[in-house]
Amino acid sequence: MSLVHIETSVARNRKFQQAGPVASWLWVCGLAYCQEGLTDGFIPCEALLFLGVKGPGKHVDALVRAGLWEARDDGWQVHDYLKHNKSADEVNGIKKERRRAGAEGGKSSWRRRGTDHDAEANAEANAEANAEAVAEPVSVRSGTDRNVSDRNVSDRYGAVRSGKPHALNAPIHDTSHIKHAFCGRICMPQALFGEFIRRRNSVNADAEILDWAIAVDNDWADGGKFSDVEPGESYAFWKARYAEKWPAPQPSQADSRLPAWARDSA
DSSP-assigned letters across all residues of 156-208: HHHHHHTTS-GGGT----STTSPPEEE-SSSPEEHHHHHHHHHHH-STTHHHH
Degrees to nearest 5, angle at CA 226 with 223 and 232:
120
- 170 pLDDT band (50/70/90 cuts)? very low
Please report the pLDDT score of residue 138 as a whole number.
Answer: 39
What is the average pLDDT across 146-150? 41
User: pLDDT tens digit string along 38-47?
Assistant: 999 999 999 9
pLDDT of 10 strictly over 70: yes
Name the pLDDT band for 224 (thresholds 50, 70, 90). Answer: confident
pLDDT at 23 over 50: yes
CB atoms within 10 A of CB 131: 14
Helix runs in 48-149, H state only = 57-66, 81-84, 88-134
Cα–Cα distance for residue pair 141/161, rounded to 1 Å: 22
Instruction: Give me the pLDDT at residue 5, please.
Output: 82
Q: Is the pLDDT of residue 24 over 90?
A: yes
How far, in Å, CA of 29 to CA of 259, rounded? 48
Spatial contact of 146 and 184, defined as CB atoms under 8 Å apart: yes
- pLDDT averaged over the chain? 76
Mean pLDDT value of segment 32-36: 92
Q: Half-sphere exposure of 239 toward its Cβ, with a 13 Å CA cutoff?
A: 9
Task: State residue 222's pLDDT score.
Answer: 82
Name the residue with higher pLDDT: 144 or 108.
Answer: 108
pTM of the complete model:
0.40
**Residue pair 60/76 in contact by the 8 Å Cβ criterion:** yes
Highest mean pLDDT among 75-79, 132-136, 159-163: 75-79
Q: What is the 3-state secondary structure (H, E, C) of 67-83?
A: CCEEEECCEEEECCHHH
d(CA 154, CA 158): 5
What pLDDT is attached to residue 169? Answer: 41
Taking the C-alpha atoms of residue 79 and residue 58, their distance in angstroms, rounded to an integer, is 18
